[in-house]
Amino acid sequence: MSGRTEYAPSTGAAWKRRLDRVNAFPTQAEMDTYLRETATVALHKVAMQMRARGYEVLLPTSELPELDLPPARPPGRPRARAQLPLPAFPRRR
């Protein structure tokens, strides 16, 4: 988590703010804005610097299709563990 506990105010508000950040999920509009205004701009800047250093850079972009995904796992609910057989490794002699 981000934030420095040694600089936390005596009221204990810093850990609550960090907890809020960890449990905050962006909306679709916020994600679109971040991708358009932050991530894409940063990738273009990196590509430009790589080209300036002589690298061939491809920066493909496309719109992602709308996917019908199942709802996210609710917080606090444990993940289901798959029961898989253990691999058989040869024994050392």
pLDDT digits (tens, 9 = 90+) for 25-74: 888 899 889 988 999 999 999 999 999 999 999 888 777 677 777 776 66
* Residue 8: inside a domain: no
* Residue 79: inside a domain: no
Taking the CA atoms of residue 58, residue 59, residue 65 and residue 66 in that order, the dihedral angle to the nearest 10 degrees is 150
- Report which of 74, 73, 49, 72 is spatially closest to residue 59, judged by C-alpha positions: 49
pLDDT-based confidence at residue 1 (cuts at 50, 70, 90): very low
Containing domain of residue 35, as a range? 26-57
Q: Is the dihedral of CA 10, 12, 14, 15 positive or negative?
A: positive
* Residue 75: inside a domain: no
Q: Give 3 or 48, the one with higher predicted confidence.
A: 48
Q: Is the pLDDT of residue 88 over 80?
A: no
* Residue 73: inside a domain: no
Q: How many domains does the chain have?
A: 1
Non-local CB neighbours of 13 within 8 Å, separated by 6+ positions: none
* Residue 47: inside a domain: yes
* Residue 49: inside a domain: yes
Q: Identify whether the C-beta of residue 42 lies closer than 8 Å to the C-beta of residue 21.
A: no
* Residue 31: inside a domain: yes
* Residue 51: inside a domain: yes
H helices, E strands: number in the chain: 3, 0
Q: Is the pLDDT of residue 19 over 60?
A: yes
